Chain A
Amino acid sequence: MTQVTKKSKVSRRDMLKIAGVGAVTVGAVALTGNAQAKPEDVNAYFKKVGVDAAKASKVTVDGPEIAENGNTVPIEISVDAPMTEKEYVKTIYVAAEGNPTPEVVTFNLTPASGEARVKFRMRLATTQKVRAVAMMNDGSTFTGEKEIKVTIGGCGG
């Protein structure tokens, strides 16, 4: 932006830079216009579904370190637990700290699942933590999280 003051010397590259900055500004405004979830909202959501006392272990949230496009970010959640009739992961709650609403998806698994692993694609409005809580059939809960950096948000304001 600093080079633009000299008239008639606005190169194609500079124009693109200006356009880029403009787009980013518009994006930021659109995002702040939306009511975004905060980490507390995720806590409140987990409390509502009764899994706020989850222990930080066993659950792995896997995804890219940096997502170039927040519209579709692949996430894989796996729980280090057996899937037998006696002991299995019953529910996996997934929530995001920086999207307009905290809930992302809830998986209900059964012993027929064979493995406590799911993969999906989600929208990320901004750089944020994706958190997951797994509830076992006996009611015990475990949690894991991952922070994902987003360069272009995906909740189109």
Chain B
Amino acid sequence: MSKAPKPRVKAPKSASKGDVVTIKTTISHRMESGMRKGKDGKLIPRQIINKFEALFNGKQIMSANMFPSISANPYLDFDMLVEEAGEFEFKWYDDNGEVYSKKAKMKLKG
């Protein structure tokens, strides 16, 4: 991979208690399946994001274990029930051991 994977997140900046909000995340990543052959005819080794985690104030909202069938630049769209103001943290775990993360704050309305 030539460039470092870049995470992008779309989460609301504010919401009311009791709302269910939608969060959209993606990260630029080739998600090399390990099944493609390179120009030399050899298999290109697998390198994917194998796990994604979404936390709010340190508490897990959801996580996803991903396999090579997931497209490049993995996109995930999911929901959260709003209880309090705080901070999101999103983590992507690469096969190579790297962990990429992104944070976003959310306020309560009113």
Task: Give residues of chain A (78-133) contacting chain B, Cβ–Cβ below 8 Å.
Answer: 83, 96, 99-101, 103-115, 117-123
Cα A6 to Cα B44 in complex, Å, equals: 44
Q: By the criterion of a CB under 8 Å from any partner CB, how many residues of chain A are at the interface?
A: 34
A99-B69 contact given A106-B64, A109-B62, A114-B79, CB 8 Å threshold = yes
**Looking at the complex, which one of B35, B68, B72 makes contact with A72 (CB distance below 8 Å)?**
B72
Interface-forming stretch among A17-25, A52-60, A149-157? A149-157
Give A contacts to B, CB under 8 Å: 34, 71-73, 76, 83, 96, 99-101, 103-115, 117-123, 154-157
Contact A112 B63 (CB under 8 A): no
Partner among A34, A71, A114, A118 whose Cβ is within 8 Å of the Cβ of B76 = A118
Q: Please, which residue of chain A has its CB at the minimum distance from the CB of B24?
A: A119
Question: Measured between alpha carbons, how far is A114 from B63 in the docked complex, in Å?
Answer: 14
User: A105-B64, A107-B63, A110-B62 are known contacts; what are 20 more A-B pairs with Cβ within 8 Å?
Assistant: A100-B33, A100-B68, A101-B67, A101-B69, A105-B66, A105-B70, A106-B64, A113-B61, A113-B62, A113-B78, A114-B20, A114-B21, A115-B79, A119-B76, A119-B77, A120-B75, A120-B77, A123-B69, A123-B70, A155-B33
Chain B 65-88 per-residue mask, 1 if CB under 8 angstroms from chain A, else 0? 111111110111111111100000
Residues of A within 8 A of B80 (CB): 112-114
Can you list 28 contacts pairing A with B, beta carbon distance less than 8 Å? A34-B35, A101-B67, A101-B69, A104-B69, A105-B64, A105-B67, A105-B70, A106-B65, A107-B62, A110-B60, A110-B62, A112-B56, A112-B81, A113-B62, A113-B78, A113-B81, A114-B21, A114-B80, A114-B81, A115-B20, A115-B79, A115-B81, A119-B76, A120-B74, A121-B74, A123-B71, A156-B33, A157-B35
A127 → chain B closest CB, angstroms: 15
